[in-house]
Amino acid sequence: MNPENYLYLSAVLFTIGAAGFLLRRNAIVVFMCIELMLNATNLALVTFARMHGDVGGHVFAFFVMVVAAAEVVIGLAIIMAIYRSRRSASIDDASLLRY
């Protein structure tokens, strides 16, 4: 299989994630779009590492996955706090937590 196909897939996934991040107002959907963008980046990193025969891209993709796992834990805790206090998962309600 041609490595460019993986890069095209990565670009399409990243574009879908960026569009969802910019257009949606639900916090959980925005959160999933961020994860989709991180996975697209990992696919591109692994593809470039495979093309050049280097292990550095694989290692960096592993660290991105670790950071994404930590982001999931913290992000979902914040989303749950917003939902419990406001009964909504809208991004617009997040600014109301200050009061």
In a domain, 54, yes or no: yes
In a domain, 97, yes or no: no
Domain extent at residue 49: 3-91
pLDDT tens-digit readout, 56-95? 889 999 999 999 999 889 988 888 887 887 777 777 666 6
Task: Say what the pTM is.
Answer: 0.83
Q: Is residue 60 part of a domain?
A: yes
Q: Does residue 87 lie in a domain region? A: yes
Lookup: tokens for 43: 């696919």
In a domain, 73, yes or no: yes
| Residue 92 CB contacts under 8 Å (≥ 6 apart), including other chains | 25
d(CA 52, CA 34): 27
| b/e per residue 59-69 (b: at least 16 CB within 10 A) | ebbeeeeeebe
Is residue 99 in some structural domain? no
* pLDDT of 99 higher than 60: no
27: nearest Cα among 70, 85, 96, 91: 91
Return d(Cα 73, Cα 9) in angstroms, integer: 27
